[in-house]
């Protein structure tokens, strides 16, 4: 008997979901995964409404398959002028290395979906097959509106309490994000205690506590790990780092090079880059232990400015090279071939 039931996940043909990596996922990547029978994803939480619309329309033009659109549902930033000024001062020596001036002040570089009704209306109008949520949940009436429009819904949980809130809100699928996962930790409240559950532990707990399908996420790079997740009771597996080296991703040459290097063996959580905990390949900014750090995504304004200054001098030691603990297992292949390889390995 197969461990995978397509009926549990919007008719998904194979238990492979490409994670919605903002800045890395592209319409070409999402479409290639979808055309191979997986679920492609677009990370549009940091995009303008018009740019997001264009990405959705471009993806739909490339595939009739299943893809999701991911939105950031963080609490709007609590601004603190003193903390922001102090953070700029702490980063000033780094800027000086590259003969660059730090920003005079910081901006909240994108809005949370929870307060962006224009983005909500755009999603209803474009009607992607699935909408997913990270860092929390949008208003319940928005979730109900998506479901009434025939749009599937998913949301990230890092612990059983968040999963319970997701189920109570009417979302259809829970993405169980273990600490192995690359990119931003999907905690609802970054100030609250994080039990830091691994993917196998979290999946095992959630499948015992919820009637909803649970998608395993965190450190998964090979088909045998997908099979292990299905054995634990997961409905499918979500992989991010495994798709970064695909030619369809937007990862630049420096990102690809570091992911293929021995440096990829050291991934760690840092809030210094964006203001929220995120796992990436360790570099100078990830190792920096100053503080306090401004709220997300205000701190990202400084992090991006510092990366730009360093990159202009050929230094990539301040980039957001998000990656999971399985990074040393990353492989290069077209996305469609990657899906087919993963499916064959899982079988």
**pLDDT for the residue numbered 301:** 98
State the Cα–Cα distance between residues 172 and 146, nearest whole angstrom: 11
Buried b (16+ CB within 10 A) or exposed e, 84-107: bebbbebbeebbeebebebeeebe
Residues 47 and 136 in one domain: yes
**pLDDT for the residue numbered 70:** 98
One-letter-per-residue 3-state SS of 130-161:
EEEEECCCCCHHHHHHHHHCCCEEEEEECCHH
| Torsion from C-alpha of 18, 158, 279, 47, nearest 10 degrees | 60
Q: Tell me if 196 sits within 8 A of 179, measured CB to CB.
A: yes
State the Cα–Cα distance between residues 38 and 344, nearest whole angstrom: 13
pLDDT at 7 over 80: no
Residues 32 and 153 in one domain: yes
CATH number at residue 347: 3.20.20.70
Residues 267 and 252 in one domain: no
Residues 117 and 183 in one domain: yes
State the Cα–Cα distance between residues 222 and 40, nearest whole angstrom: 17
What's the mean per-residue pLDDT of the chain?
Answer: 97
Q: What is the pLDDT of residues 100-114, one digit of tens each?
A: 999 999 999 999 999
State the Cα–Cα distance between residues 154 and 36, nearest whole angstrom: 21
Confidence of residue 8 (pLDDT cuts 50, 70, 90): confident
Residues 197 and 120 in one domain: yes
**pLDDT for the residue numbered 3:** 84
Which residues partner with 43 through β-bridges? 70
**pLDDT for the residue numbered 5:** 86
**pLDDT for the residue numbered 4:** 85
Residues making up the chain, counted from first to last: 347
Widest Cα–Cα separation across the chain: 63
Residues 49 and 71 in one domain: yes
Residues 98 and 60 in one domain: no
231 Cβ contact list (under 8 Å, min separation 6): 3
Q: Tell me if 209 sits within 8 A of 164, measured CB to CB.
A: yes
SS3 280: strand
Q: Residue 182: give the domain boundaries.
A: 1-76+111-260+330-347
Residues 269 and 126 in one domain: no
Q: What is the pTM of this model?
A: 0.97
Residues 233 and 191 in one domain: yes
Q: What is the DSSP letter of 39?
A: B
Residues 129 and 161 in one domain: yes
* Total number of domains constituting the chain: 2
Q: What is the pLDDT of residues 116-136, one digit of tens each?
A: 999 999 999 999 999 999 999
Q: What angle do CA 99, 101, 107 make, to 5 degrees?
A: 145
**pLDDT for the residue numbered 137:** 98
Please compute the mean of the pLDDT values over residues 7-13 and round it to a whole number.
Answer: 91
Residues 116 and 181 in one domain: yes
State the Cα–Cα distance between residues 258 and 281, nearest whole angstrom: 8
212 Cβ contact list (under 8 Å, min separation 6): 163, 166, 167, 171, 172, 173, 174
Please compute the mean of the pLDDT values over residues 246-262 and round it to a whole number.
Answer: 98
pLDDT at 233 over 70: yes
Q: What is the pLDDT of residues 42-100, one digit of tens each?
A: 999 999 999 999 999 999 999 999 999 999 999 999 999 999 999 999 999 999 999 99
**pLDDT for the residue numbered 43:** 97
Residue given tokens 């238990």 in the structure block: 15
Decide: residue 53, CB within 10 A, 0-12 exposed, 13-18 middle, 19+ buried. Answer: middle
* Cross-sheet strand order for the sheet of 267-270: 183-184, 278-281, 267-270
Residues 344 and 317 in one domain: no
SS3 16: strand
Question: 194 φ, ψ to 5°?
Answer: -105, 115
Q: Tell me if 283 sits within 8 A of 321, measured CB to CB.
A: yes
Alpha carbon separation from 49 to 132, 144, 250, 298 (Å, rounded): 16, 21, 20, 19
**pLDDT for the residue numbered 291:** 84
Least Cα distance to 292 among 22, 78, 74, 75 occurs for: 78
Q: Tell me if 108 sits within 8 A of 129, measured CB to CB.
A: no
Which residues partner with 10 through β-bridges? none
Q: Tell me if 206 sits within 8 A of 229, measured CB to CB.
A: no
């Amino acid at each position: 008997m197969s461990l995978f039931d397509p009926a549990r996940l919007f008719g998904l043909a194979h238990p492979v979901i490409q994670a919605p990596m903002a800045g890395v996922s592209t319409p070409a990547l999402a479409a290639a995964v979808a055309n191979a029978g997986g679920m492609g994803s677009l990370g549009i939480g940091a995009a303008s409404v018009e740019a997001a619309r264009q990405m959705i329309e471009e993806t739909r033009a490339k595939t009739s398959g299943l893809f999701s659109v991911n939105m950031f549902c963080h609490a709007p930033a609590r601004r603190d002028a003193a903390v922001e000024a102090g953070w700029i001062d702490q980063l000033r020596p780094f800027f000086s290395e590259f003969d660059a001036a730090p920003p005079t002040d910081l901006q909240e570089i994108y809005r949370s979906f929870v307060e962006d009704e224009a983005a909500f209306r755009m999603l209803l109008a474009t009607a992607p097959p699935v909408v997913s949520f990270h860092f929390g949940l949008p208003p319940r009436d928005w979730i109900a509106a998506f479901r009434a429009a025939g749009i599937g819904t998913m949301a990230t949980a890092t612990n059983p309490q968040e999963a319970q809130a997701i189920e109570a809100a009417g979302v259809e699928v829970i993405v169980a994000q273990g600490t192995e996962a690359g990119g931003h930790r999907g905690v609802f409240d970054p100030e609250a205690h994080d039990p830091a559950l691994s993917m196998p532990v979290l999946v095992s707990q959630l499948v015992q506590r919820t009637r909803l399908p649970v998608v395993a996420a965190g450190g998964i790079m090979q088909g045998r790990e997908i099979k292990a997740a299905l054995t634990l009771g997961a409905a499918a597996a979500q992989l991010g780092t495994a798709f970064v080296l695909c030619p369809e991703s937007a990862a630049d040459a420096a990102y690809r090079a570091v992911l293929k290097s021995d440096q990829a063996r050291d991934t760690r959580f840092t809030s210094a880059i964006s203001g929220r905990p995120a796992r990436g390949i360790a570099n100078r900014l990830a190792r920096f232990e100053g503080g306090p750090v401004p709220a997300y995504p205000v701190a990202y304004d400084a992090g991006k400015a510092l990366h730009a200054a360093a990159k202009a001098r050929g230094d990539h030691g301040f980039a957001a090279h998000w990656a999971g603990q399985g990074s040393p297992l990353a492989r290069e292949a077209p996305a469609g071939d990657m899906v087919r390889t993963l499916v064959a390995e899982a079988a």
